[in-house]
Amino acid sequence: MKNLELKNLGVQEMNTTEMTKVNGGGLGDILININLEPVFQLLTNILTGVVTGLGKLLQGL
């Protein structure tokens, strides 16, 4: 398989520091804008329901 030389097409290489300064770049920018609390609350509720259901199922045996 041949390597595609993007430099010949005018594409500029960037290091991780430069990428974080670009609008929309970098994992840190994404994590700052996402509130994960509702996701964790949903997972907690699901797991609580599963554990409660298994407990009732095992008590019925």
Residue 39 confidence (pLDDT): 86
Cα–Cα distance measured from residue 3 to residue 1, given in angstroms and rounded to the nearest whole number = 7
Q: Which has the higher per-residue pLDDT, 33 or 36?
A: 36
Question: Average pLDDT in the 49-59 region?
Answer: 93
Residue 51 confidence (pLDDT): 95
The answer to whether residue 33 scores a pLDDT higher than 60 is: no
Looking at this protein, which amino acid is placed at residue 1? M
User: Torsion-angle region of residue 26: left (phi > 0), alpha (psi -120 to 50) or beta?
Assistant: left
Say what the pTM is. 0.43
The answer to whether residue 34 scores a pLDDT higher than 80 is: no
